[in-house]
Amino acid sequence: MSKALSKSQVAAELAEKNGLSKKQAVEILESIAQMAYRNAKNTFTLPGIGKLVLVNRKARIGRNPATGEQIQIPAKRVVKFRVAKAAKDAILK
């Protein structure tokens, strides 16, 4: 299995394919990330890739793996990423 692309590698490829400087490509990546952070409360969609959604997780009973003792896990909000159907089809073909 190959390694994941780093931010600089992604920026370099974006710059090359779109005739931008690497600095401009990095700024675009950072602005997309900031936009995603700000708008995740309302669901942030990156067309063709997926969306960030906030999900309320219910309280539940878990188990301490070391002792086997039952513990109460409180309810909380979590961020989930739902992969778009187009991305699944393109990746898993």
Reduced DSSP (H G I as helix, E B as strand, rest coil) percent helix, strand, coil of the chain, to 5 = 45, 30, 25
Q: What percent of the chain has pLDDT over 90?
A: 91
> How high is the pLDDT of residue 2?
80
What is the CATH number assigned to the segment(s) 43-93? 4.10.520.10
Helix or strand run (H / E) with residue 27: helix 22-39
Gap between the Cα atoms of 82 and 86, Å rounded = 12
Could you tell me if 43 and 53 are in contact, meaning their C-beta atoms sit under 8 angstroms apart?
Answer: yes
Q: What percent of the chain has pLDDT over 70?
A: 99
> How high is the pLDDT of residue 93?
85
Query: Per-residue pLDDT tens for 7-19?
Result: 999 999 999 999 9
Q: Where are the domains of the chain?
A: 1-38, 43-93
**Phi, psi torsion values for 72, nearest 5 degrees:** -90, 125
Mean pLDDT of 21-31: 94
